[in-house]
């Protein structure tokens, strides 16, 4: 028996499949980035505090080059080998890490030097992931515990501080400040997740983050009811990299006699309220085939009794009874993956599964077994999710009632061919499906359908069965709403060119990336992906624009997602969302006009249906944002464009077909193209703040038809104007401390003929946009 993860698997991902217990026993602890033994393969050497790599400054190959930490790029000067003699070799083995001048004092500089085998070039692995010089007895240390690019690396008295912890291999994301760090290789404060949970204060009134580095953590986990407000955060590239797993089943004998029972079989039992989990896997790998004679094959991965639980991008793996949602639970699952075959989502609690994948394994069976009390209106809601599987066609029921009156709604979801089309619901013992509260609404796919055995919600009824309604309870809890829309407005939401709107990677797998190679791999994939960028990714070579294929969402995690010294290129693609990122820093002071290298933060050529939202674009090598060659059906909203010559250029075509909405952007400390709008059929610019612009603001050129309304121009030269045959309609704008052209003419077009929108007062924009543009912590 194999526990299956998300399928198909993203290319090149760390995806060693969870297998039978024997496989796990053989691997013991398989940690991505675990310390390598002597004579191991060449790999990056990562400072675990920052996630940055030990780097030879400038890639200098001459002896005497200093060392620093820098964003991991895979370059030869970031590859290291710990030899059997204790040497740390780099640059193809031609140079060794060396204590300069045979120094033995704290602060001695570390350099590279010709490998001699001398004792000042020999290092050993110490406790907690440290590297100890054999000659000095001092530890390899990041100066002052800093995490910034370019921080020097030196020798210092060993103190076990995070600045002295190193790992070989793929870097994990840096742990949030103040978190309890778990690492199976000993580079964290705790080796097991349970140890970290036990260390959390009882009844903590504030949230405690337990950051778990990549690895496999075997053994049962309990979060008791007196440990509320705990977050389990996986620091890997994807949920596959952090795995909490055990192998007990209901019939497994207990050491003291008896059996565990279904409840006792759980790998993780969570009772503390307000529990959060993100970017990890919880699995039960009980081997049914090897234990065929054992009664009771129920094997729970997660038993959830937490009220107000949020699980985002979490994989739950098992066979029978994978996820138990207890009567006491109220839970929101987003972008999750749940695998099993019999009743693998069951229980009497209230749970919403939003954009999740429900994976039926090889045999047919039952997806849900709800036991919702008849006194409770809401049980399970599957919203915009996917029901997939390798089971035979028409072999699987959507569910059966574990208790009479059970409640399940499956709405706006894609149902695979394995779902029984004629009879998706069935009985369980004396509880009949007809007496349960089973409903569907607007499902699609080969397993979808209507008929007498498939009760449907009406449009009016569906309004009462939303994620928000399910989770509100008596306290109005709403983890679904972050205050930011999850779909675009404006022209990106308008149908055209074969698309009904812009959805990006919706419906595809969600992955988290922390390095350039992973970002490039997923961005270029032929299938949809939601790509979460965690932390800074330094792009090499300098200024490279990473190609983005169709059907992608690239979104920053919190406010940390950054594409540094590079950009993104959308060429002849469609349906792309770019949100919540900082992009840029490719400016060359010797080339202020970008005549050399055209290093844009975001460049779009011939693309359509693109949403660019809540990004910070700054100091690019050419334009911060270029929309060229008939790129159309674009919405640019709530971005900050700053500290640059050319902000936003639109055109580079003789055709007049493009349609763009540009609203609620803060364009400041720029010179030209704010934006320059050339040959755009419909350009709608509203509620933007232009501030400290030295050359010109909004300029309509060629055959453009532009509507410029309720914008605020503060210290802007030539706030708005037209050239050639362009038409520009202006209304409701505020112009303050600005001089120069303010010209308009014609009727342009009526934006409300294409979509609806609401205007903020132009006078409110300076205060409004100062906090609402650029990356936001609660966008996800």
| Chain segment 52-97, per-residue pLDDT in tens | 889 998 888 899 999 999 877 777 888 999 888 899 999 888 999 9
CATH number of 528-772: 2.160.20.10
Percent of the chain beyond pLDDT 90? 74
Domains 341-472 and 528-772 share a fold: yes
Residue 659: which of 690, 631, 691, 622 has the closest Cα? 631
| Mean pLDDT on 598-604 | 92
Catalytic site includes residue 274: no
What are the residue ranges spanned by the domains of the chain?
1-32+172-288, 43-168, 341-472, 528-772
- Model confidence at 239: pLDDT above 50: yes
Distance CA 110, CA 104 (A): 11
What's the pLDDT band for 176 if we cut at 50, 70, 90?
confident
Starting from the edge strand earliest in sequence, which strands make up the sheet with 268-270, in order?
Answer: 221-223, 268-270, 302-304, 323-325, 342-347, 366-370, 397-399
Measured CA to CA, the distance from residue 337 to residue 244 in angstroms comes to 15
* Torsional sign, CA 7, 18, 187, 141: negative
Reply yes or no on whether the pLDDT at 682 is more than 70: yes
CB 679 within 8 A of CB 701: yes
Residue 19: predicted pLDDT:
25
User: What is the per-residue pLDDT for 121?
Assistant: 95
Average pLDDT, the chain: 90
Round to whole Å and give the CA distance between 776 and 613: 11
Residue 26 has pLDDT above 50, yes or no: no
Q: Which residues pair with 346 in a beta bridge?
A: 324, 369
Mean pLDDT of 676-688: 97
* Number of neighbouring beta carbons within 10 Å of residue 541: 8
pLDDT of residue 477: 92
What pLDDT sits at residue 592? 67
pLDDT at 541 over 60: yes
758, two tokens: 């609401």
Cα–Cα distances (Å) from 425 to 341, 377, 379, 419, in that order, read: 15, 19, 16, 10
What pLDDT shows up at residue 212? 95
- Residue 14 pLDDT exceeds 70: no
The per-residue DSSP string of 560-617 comes to T-EEETBEEEEES-EEEEEES-EEE----TT-TT-TTT---SEEEES-EEEEEES-EE
Nearest CA to 11 out of 413, 549, 544, 534 is that of 549
Degrees, nearest 5: CA angle 55-60-62: 125
Residue in the block written with tokens 């992906």: 529
Contact between 629 and 654 (Cβ < 8 Å): no
Top pLDDT among 237 and 34 is at: 237
Q: Comparing 133-137, 365-369, 484-488, 642-646, which segment has the lowest mean pLDDT?
A: 484-488
> How many Å apart are CA 525 and CA 532, to the nearest integer?
15
Query: Is the Cβ–Cβ distance between 757 and 716 less than 8 Å?
Result: no
In the predicted model, what is the mean pLDDT of residues 433-437? 97
Domain 1-32+172-288 coded CATH 2.160.20.10 = yes
pLDDT in tens, 305-354: 999 999 999 999 999 999 999 999 999 999 899 999 999 999 999 999 99
pLDDT tens track for 257-314: 999 999 999 999 999 999 999 999 999 999 999 999 999 999 999 999 999 999 999 9
Q: Model confidence at 41, in pLDDT bands (50, 70, 90)?
A: low
CATH number of 43-168: 2.80.10.50
Separation of alpha carbons 682 and 657, rounded Å: 8
pLDDT at 1 over 60: no
Average pLDDT for 553-567: 94
Q: How far apart are CA 428 and CA 335, in angstroms?
A: 29
383-410 pLDDT per residue, tens? 989 999 999 999 999 999 999 999 999 9
* List of E strands, 428-476: 437-441
Query: In sequence order, what are the residues at sequence separation of 6 or more whose Cβ sits closer than 8 angstroms to the Cβ of residue 121?
Result: 86, 87, 88, 96, 97, 98, 99, 113, 115
The pLDDT of residue 483 is: 60
Q: Cite the beta strand spans of 183-285 per DSSP E.
A: 208-212, 215-218, 221-223, 230-234, 242-246, 268-270, 276-284
Q: Please tell me what DSSP assigns to residue 287.
A: -
Number of CB atoms found within 10 A of residue 478's CB: 14
Buried b (16+ CB within 10 A) or exposed e, 282-295: bbbbbbeeebeebe
Mean pLDDT for the stretch of residues 516-537: 95
Per the residue annotation, which of 98, 240, 343, 600 is the catalytic one? 343
Q: What is the CATH number of domain 341-472?
A: 2.160.20.10
Residue 60 in tokens: 């200098």
Distance CA 588, CA 596 (A): 9
User: Distance between CA 18 and CA 665 in Å, rounded?
Assistant: 46
């Amino acid at each position: 028996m194999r526990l299956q993860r998300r399928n198909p698997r993203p290319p090149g991902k760390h995806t060693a499949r969870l297998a039978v217990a024997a496989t796990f026993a053989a691997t013991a602890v398989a940690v991505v980035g675990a310390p390598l033994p002597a004579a191991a393969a060449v790999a990056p050497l990562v400072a675990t505090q920052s996630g940055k790599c030990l780097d030879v400054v400038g890639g200098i190959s001459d002896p005497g080059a200093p060392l620093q930490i820098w964003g991991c790029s895979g370059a030869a000067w970031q590859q290291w080998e710990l030899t059997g003699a204790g040497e740390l070799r780099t640059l193809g083995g031609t140079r060794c890490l060396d204590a300069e001048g045979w120094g033995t004092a704290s602060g001695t500089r570390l350099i590279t030097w010709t490998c001699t085998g001398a004792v000042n070039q020999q290092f050993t692995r110490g406790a907690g992931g440290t590297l100890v010089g054999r000659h000095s007895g001092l530890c390899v240390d990041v100066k002052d515990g800093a995490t910034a690019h370019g921080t020097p690396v030196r020798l210092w008295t060993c103190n076990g501080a995070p600045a002295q912890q190193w790992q070989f291999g793929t870097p994990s994301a840096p742990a949030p400040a103040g978190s309890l760090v778990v690492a199976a290789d000993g580079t964290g404060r705790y080796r097991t997740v349970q140890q970290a949970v036990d260390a959390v204060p009882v009844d903590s009134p504030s949230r405690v983050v337990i950051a778990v580095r990549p690895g496999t953590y075997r053994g049962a986990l309990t979060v008791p009811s007196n440990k509320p407000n705990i977050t389990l955060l996986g620091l890997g590239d994807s949920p596959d990299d952090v795995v909490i797993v055990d192998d007990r089943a209901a019939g497994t004998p207990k050491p003291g006699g008896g059996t565990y029972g279904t409840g006792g079989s759980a790998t993780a039992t969570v009772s503390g309220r307000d529990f959060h989990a993100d970017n990890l896997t919880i699995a039960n790998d009980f081997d049914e085939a090897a234990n065929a004679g054992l009664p009771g094959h129920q094997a729970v991965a997660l038993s959830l009794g937490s009220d107000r639980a949020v699980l985002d991008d979490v994989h739950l793996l098992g066979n029978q009874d994978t996820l138990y949602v207890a009567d006491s639970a109220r839970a929101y699952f987003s972008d999750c993956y749940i695998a099993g075959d019999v009743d693998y989502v069951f229980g009497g609690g209230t749970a919403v599964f939003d954009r999740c994948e429900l994976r039926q394994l090889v045999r047919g069976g039952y997806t849900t077994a709800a036991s919702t009390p008849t006194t409770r209106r809401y049980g399970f809601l599957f919203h915009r999710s996917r029901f997939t599987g390798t089971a035979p066609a028409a072999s699987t029921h959507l569910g059966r009632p574990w208790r009479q009156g059970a409640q399940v709604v499956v709405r706006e979801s894609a149902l695979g061919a394995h779902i029984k089309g004629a009879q998706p619901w069935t009985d369980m013992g004396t509880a009949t499906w007809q007496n349960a509260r089973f409903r569907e609404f607007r499902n699609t796919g080969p397993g979808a359908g209507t008929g007498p055995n498939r009760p449907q919600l009406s449009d009016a009824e569906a309004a009462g069965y939303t994620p928000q309604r399910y989770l509100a309870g008596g306290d109005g809890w709403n983890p679904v709403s972050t205050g930011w829309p999850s779909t675009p407005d404006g022209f990106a939401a308008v149908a055209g060119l074969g698309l009904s709107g812009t959805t990006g990677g919706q419906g595809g797998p969600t992955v988290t990336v922390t390095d350039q190679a992973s970002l490039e791999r997923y961005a270029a994939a032929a299938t949809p992906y939601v790509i979460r960028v965690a932390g800074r990714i330094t792009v090499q070579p300098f200024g490279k624009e990473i190609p983005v294929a169709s059907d992608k969402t690239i979104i920053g995690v919190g406010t940390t997602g950054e594409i540094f010294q590079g950009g993104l290129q959308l060429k002849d693609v469609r349906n792309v969302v770019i949100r919540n990122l900082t992009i840029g820093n490719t400016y060359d002071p010797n080339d202020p006009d970008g005549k050399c290298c055209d290093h844009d933060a975001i460049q779009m050529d011939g693309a359509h249906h693109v949403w660019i939202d809540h990004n910070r674009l700054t100091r690019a090598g050419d334009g911060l944002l270029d929309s060229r060659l008939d790129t159309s059906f674009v919405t640019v909203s709530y971005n900050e464009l700053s500290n640059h010559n050319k902000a936003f250029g639109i055109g580079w075509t003789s055709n007049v077909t493009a349609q763009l909405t540009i609203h609620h952007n803060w364009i400041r400390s720029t010179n030209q193209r704010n934006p320059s709008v050339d040959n755009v059929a419909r350009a709608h610019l509203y509620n933007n703040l232009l501030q400290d612009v030295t050359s010109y603001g909004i300029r309509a050129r060629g055959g453009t038809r532009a509507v410029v309304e309720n914008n605020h121009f503060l210290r802007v030269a030539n706030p708005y104007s037209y050239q050639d045959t362009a038409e520009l309609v202006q209304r409701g704008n505020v112009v303050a401390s600005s001089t120069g052209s303010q010209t308009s003419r014609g009727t342009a077009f009526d934006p409300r003929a294409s979509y609806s929108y609401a205007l903020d007062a132009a006078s409110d924009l300076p205060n409004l946009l100062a906090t609402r543009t650029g990356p936001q912590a609660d966008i996800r």
